[in-house]
């Protein structure tokens, strides 16, 4: 697969995740037990970051930098979700599910970043 295809796919996914986080932030925050207000704010901030990295990825699809920015954001998201998934959270199962989803996305971002680092002239294609 061409590096630009990987970069575009990750950029488009990031843009879609960001728009969803901004639009549904309050619901998502409530759903994982973070509360509609605080959780909504958290999701809107993460959504804005996702939109920014998505646009950057679409503008420079062959660059690993936007994917690395996403990976840094994934680390923040994992830390926040780990905190939210405390045993006292009555919606802990949903928070753990969200944690698993973000861990999967982080893995995809890591692998995408490595593929973009290799580039077409180093045997990726």
Q: What is the pLDDT of residues 47-63, one digit of tens each?
A: 999 999 999 999 999 99
Gap between the Cα atoms of 7 and 92, Å rounded: 33
**Residue 33, SS3 per DSSP:** coil
pLDDT 10s digit of each residue in the chain, 125 long?
A: 888 999 999 999 999 999 999 999 999 999 999 999 999 999 999 999 999 999 999 999 999 999 999 999 999 999 999 999 999 999 999 999 999 999 999 999 999 999 998 866 544 44
Q: How many residues does the chain have?
A: 125
Percent of the chain whose predicted confidence (pLDDT) is above 90: 89
Residue 33 phi/psi, 5-degree rounding, is 90, 15
pLDDT, residue 1, reads 81
């Amino acid at each position: 697969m061409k590096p630009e295809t990987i970069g575009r796919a990750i950029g488009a996914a990031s843009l879609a995740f960001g728009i969803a986080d901004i639009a549904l932030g309050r619901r998502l925050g409530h759903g994982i037990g973070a509360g509609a207000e605080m959780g909504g704010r958290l999701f809107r901030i993460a959504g804005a970051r996702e939109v920014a990295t998505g646009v950057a990825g679409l503008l420079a699809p062959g660059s690993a930098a936007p994917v690395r920015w996403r990976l840094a954001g994934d680390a923040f998201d994992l830390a926040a979700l780990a905190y939210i998934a405390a045993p006292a959270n009555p919606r802990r199962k949903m928070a753990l599910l969200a944690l698993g989803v973000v861990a999967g996305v982080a893995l995809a971002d890591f692998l995408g970043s490595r593929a973009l680092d290799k580039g077409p002239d180093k045997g990726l294609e």
